[in-house]
């Protein structure tokens, strides 16, 4: 079962411990960066879902979380073992968990899977997992950039706005496809042990990023930079700030092929390809 002490640095009650052990289950040993990433991602998904008023559940073969968001990556089942057959019972459990939800959802797998098209899933692609050793480069940021650690719940909405505007959620120019306020970064995110930042360039909010430290890695996730602030070093500065959340720990992320070169230039290594399916 999950080691509850990894969740954050505050004292956790027995009631909360029971809640979390039911919400997710440790999958692989924390003796490789891959196992650390999968456990971290599963735990992060559960934290986010429960903070958003959603739900999370662990079954044999998967950790599942539903954040009630229109963003499919925030409603996710992480496979905890290979599932090479389309009739594997784990897919029945995943589909039962998401049955009736109106929001799109995803399956993330470290391993190649069977073709799930006949079950109603669409192959989103094969995002790459990247990792960086715990050797930090010197601080560097463009002139006029201030990186603020978000502690005020009122600033969570501002960070969410930057994330939605800076990341291609939904169809361009279609307001109906824009996620509802509070469904990407719920206000309770500040109570989960996650660390949220906003990057201000000359007084304008232009970037945001989240980190989650658990299982001896720093998971870099949910980041975006506004178009006007790209190619200026803002994104790299936000990465460095989040890497520093875990002194002496490796940093990990799963990323698309547009962002991966930026990670590689900063000293990250491509570790493996994951498999990402979506539905809804």
- For the chain, the structural domain boundaries read 4-129, 145-269
For 145-269, the fitting CATH number among 1.10.150.120, 3.40.630.30, 3.30.540.10, 3.40.50.11540 is 3.40.630.30
Q: Which of 101, 49, 41 is nearest to 276 (CA)?
A: 41
- Sign, CA torsion 51/67/55/9: negative
pLDDT by residue, tens only, the chain of 280 residues:
232 223 333 333 455 555 656 777 887 777 778 888 999 999 999 999 999 999 999 999 999 999 999 999 999 999 999 999 999 999 999 999 999 898 999 999 999 999 999 999 999 999 999 898 775 555 567 899 999 999 999 999 999 999 999 987 766 556 556 788 889 999 999 999 999 999 999 999 999 999 999 999 999 999 999 999 999 999 999 999 999 999 989 999 999 888 989 998 898 989 999 999 999 8
Q: Which of 42, 30, 26 is nearest to 76 (CA)?
A: 42
Buried b (16+ CB within 10 A) or exposed e, 52-67: bebbbbbbebbbbbbb
């Amino acid at each position: 079962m999950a080691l509850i002490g990894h969740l954050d640095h505050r004292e956790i009650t027995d009631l909360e411990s029971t809640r979390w052990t039911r919400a997710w289950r440790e999958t692989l040993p924390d003796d490789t960066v891959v196992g650390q990433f999968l456990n971290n991602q599963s735990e992060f998904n559960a934290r986010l879902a429960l903070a958003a008023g959603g739900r999370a559940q662990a079954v044999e073969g998967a950790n599942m979380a539903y954040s009630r968001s229109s963003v499919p990556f925030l409603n996710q089942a992480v496979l905890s073992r290979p599932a090479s057959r389309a009739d594997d019972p784990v897919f029945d459990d995943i589909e039962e968990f998401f049955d009736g939800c109106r929001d799109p959802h995803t399956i993330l797998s470290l391993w190649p899977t069977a073709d799930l098209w006949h079950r109603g899933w669409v192959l989103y692609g094969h995002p790459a997992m990247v990792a960086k050793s715990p050797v930090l480069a010197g601080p560097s940021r463009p002139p006029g950039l201030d990186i603020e650690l978000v502690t005020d719940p009122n600033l969570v909405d501002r960070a969410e706005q930057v994330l939605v505007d800076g990341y291609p959620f939904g169809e361009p120019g279609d307001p109906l496809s824009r996620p509802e306020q509070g469904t990407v970064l719920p206000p309770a995110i500040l109570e989960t042990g996650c660390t949220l930042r906003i990057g201000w360039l000359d007084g304008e909010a232009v970037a945001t990023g989240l980190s989650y430290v658990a299982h001896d890695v720093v998971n870099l996730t949910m980041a975006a930079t506004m178009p006007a602030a790209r190619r200026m070093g803002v994104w790299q500065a936000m990465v460095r700030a989040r890497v520093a959340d875990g002194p002496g720990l490796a940093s990990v992320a799963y990323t698309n092929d547009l962002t991966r070169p930026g990670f590689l230039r900063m000293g990250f290594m491509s570790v493996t390809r994951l498999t990402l399916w979506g539905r809804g």
